[in-house]
Structure 1
Amino acid sequence: MAVEVTETAAEEVRRIISDGKHDPDTMLRLGISGGGCSGFSYSITLSQDFDEEKDSKYEFHGLPVVVDKKSLLYLDGTTVDFYKGLDRHGFTFNNPNAVKTCGCGSSFQA
Structure 2
Amino acid sequence: MAEVIDAPEVAQAPAAVTLSERAAVHVQKFLAKRGKGVGLRLGVRTTGCSGMAYKLEFVDETSSEDTRFESHGVAIFVDPKSLPYLQGMELDYTREGLNEGFKFNNPNEKDRCGCGESFRV
User: Fold-level match, TM-score > 0.5?
Assistant: yes
| TM-score, structure 1 as length reference | 0.88
Q: Secondary structure at the match of 1:8?
A: helix
Which protein, 1 or 2, shows the higher relative CO under an 8 Å CA cutoff with sep ≥ 6?
1
Other-structure match for 1:14: 28
What's the secondary structure of 2:76's corresponding residue? Answer: strand
For this pair of structures, how many residues does the alignment match?
107
Alignment of 1:31-70 (within 5 A): 31-52=43-64, 54-70=65-81
Q: Tell me what 1:30 maps to.
A: 42
Q: Which runs of 5+ in 2 are unaligned?
A: 1-14
Q: Rg larger in 1 or in 2?
A: 2
Identity of aligned residues (%): 38
Runs of 4+ in 1 over 6 A off after TM superposition: none
What is the root-mean-square deviation of aligned Cα atoms in Å?
Answer: 1.4
Give 2:109's aligned residue: 98
Note the alpha carbon deviations across 1:42-85, whole angstroms, 9 max, x for none: 00100122222x21001111111101111011011111000023
